Amino acid sequence: MSRVALRTRRLAPTAIPKPCQRAPSLIQRTKSLQPWLAQVRAFQSTVHLSEERTRSPTANPHPPLSSYSKSLSNIAFAFDIDGVLYRGGQGIPGAREMLRSIRSKNMRYVFLTNGGGAHEDAKVASLSERLGLSLDEDVIRDRVILSHTPMRGWADEVKKQTVLITGSHPETARKIANEYGFERAITPADLIHANGNLYPFDNLKDSLHSAFRPLPDGKSAAAVKDPYSKDIASDAIKIDQILVWNDPRDWSLDIQVIHDLLVSHRGYLGTLSPNNGNRALPNNGWQQDGQPELWISNLDLVWKTEYPVNRFGTGAFLEALRGVWLAVTNGAELQYNALGKPSQFTYDYAHTRLLQYYSTMAAGKEGSGGLHATPLKRVYMIGDNPESDIRGANEYCPEDGTEWVSILVRTGVWTETVAEREPRYKPGVIVDDVIDGIVWALRNEGVDVNRDTLLAGGR
Ligand SMILES: [Mg+2]
């Protein structure tokens, strides 16, 4: 039996109330996505509160789970994946049966992960395999939201721009971006193959960077000769957005290329902005000349594998980039936008998916506009990372008034230590594992359930 299963459990009966105040958005600079956000919030505000939502859950009798499925249609779950449903290649014991249980009761849930770099269908396949679920079972599919999945909803005019995309496997990221609708996605490999002087090292050219494509529309990465010339050649490549899809592998090249674009004039590769260092301008002139916007798909500094020490994630790459930027600019702020948890943008996307859940499932695939919304009372976010899962849920206040409640599990990155007795962002409850998290949530809704009920796998 696992360590988790042997632990004594005490489950608090009610959630810790949270003040619902919108936190400052991590998406501060961009204007291009505001129409999408406005559309999402307008959709959420059309969902009316049901009478049932205002009823105290603790005043209800406690029927067993089998007789409760109808009134549980107004609650939902958002599961983090790494450290919650599996660690490394190993599924958390009982997670499979628990998921089958809540699926059999037709409860709503999504998988909300800061993982990325692969297609959603690939994540469905790997999660199913690690949990020992068949792809034929309707337990995982169409419910996975990766860190970059919200980019599917970006405006067409943004998708038509030229974007630089990088990540653990840039060519894979580009193919996914193409499928999302980004027509002009280029990778760092395209640039170093188009201009060997851009990065004078060949170490990974035949391995990580071996897949490349010609730059779009015959553009060149070697057209600029004078970095301050106002007369920019018509074939010079211009980048409009920088998308860090997930944690890059070649930090050296990626930091170099991203730096070059952030110091450029309007994103033309090889140019230098005359505004750089101008103290009369905001941020001393850095990133004040129409440079591309920088998007980081998640801020996770570390993640949990089977290795005993936490591993660096995309947030660690960001810290490295930020350190170089500080040194180069003599202390200027690195301006960027963050997706993934804890960003409100990602929670908005997940919340909308949960509102549309039943009509999406009925359609058998993900949909967008025109789907029917079913009101929600509470969403339970179950995660292992206080900085992303817990913070995001605590700070998220959707327009329709649904309450998001955070549940922290002990199977992932957070562990109680002498130095850190409590997580920095406090959850509604801390539980041993995801099964206890569901038990706590259902009891909070007035359902007399225990681990055995859930581990029966929906029977
Ligand atoms: Mg996690």
Domain boundaries, the chain: 67-147+342-457, 150-338
- Structure tokens of 44? 């959420």
Using the mean position of ligand 1's atoms as its centre, give its distance from the Cα of residue 388 in Å: 8
Give the closest residue to 428 by CA, choosing from 447, 407, 444, 411: 407
pLDDT confidence tier of residue 370, bands split at 50, 70 and 90: low
Q: Which helix (H) or strand (E) holds 337?
A: strand 337-338
Give the closest residue to 114 by CA, choosing from 385, 356, 326: 385
Render pLDDT for 379-389 as a digit per residue (tens, 0 to 9): 999 999 999 99
Contact 407, 384 (CB under 8 A): no
Using the mean position of ligand 1's atoms as its centre, give its distance from the Cα of residue 310 in Å: 11
Using the mean position of ligand 1's atoms as its centre, give its distance from the Cα of residue 404 in Å: 18
User: Rounded to 5 degrees, what angle do the CA atoms 140, 141, 142 make?
Assistant: 120
Contact 405, 393 (CB under 8 A): yes
pLDDT at 250: 96
Using the mean position of ligand 1's atoms as its centre, give its distance from the Cα of residue 70 in Å: 30
pLDDT at 8: 32
Using the mean position of ligand 1's atoms as its centre, give its distance from the Cα of residue 342 in Å: 12
pLDDT confidence tier of residue 362, bands split at 50, 70 and 90: confident
d(CA 350, CA 372): 15
The fold of the 150-338 domain, in CATH, is: Rossmann fold (3.40.50)
Using the mean position of ligand 1's atoms as its centre, give its distance from the Cα of residue 303 in Å: 6
pLDDT at 179: 95
Using the mean position of ligand 1's atoms as its centre, give its distance from the Cα of residue 6 in Å: 22
Render pLDDT for 268-320 as a digit per residue (tens, 0 to 9): 999 999 999 999 999 999 999 999 999 999 998 988 788 889 899 999 999 99
Using the mean position of ligand 1's atoms as its centre, give its distance from the Cα of residue 110 in Å: 14
Contact 77, 441 (CB under 8 A): yes
pLDDT confidence tier of residue 4, bands split at 50, 70 and 90: very low
Residue 253 pLDDT greater than 80, yes or no: yes
Give the closest residue to 390 by CA, choosing from 435, 436, 437: 437
Using the mean position of ligand 1's atoms as its centre, give its distance from the Cα of residue 235 in Å: 44
The fold of the 67-147+342-457 domain, in CATH, is: Rossmann fold (3.40.50)
Using the mean position of ligand 1's atoms as its centre, give its distance from the Cα of residue 1 in Å: 23
Lowest mean pLDDT among 46-55, 74-83, 117-126, 180-189: 46-55
This prediction's pTM: 0.81
DSSP 433: S
Using the mean position of ligand 1's atoms as its centre, give its distance from the Cα of residue 74 in Å: 25
- Matching CATH topology for 67-147+342-457 and 150-338? yes
Using the mean position of ligand 1's atoms as its centre, give its distance from the Cα of residue 83 in Å: 5
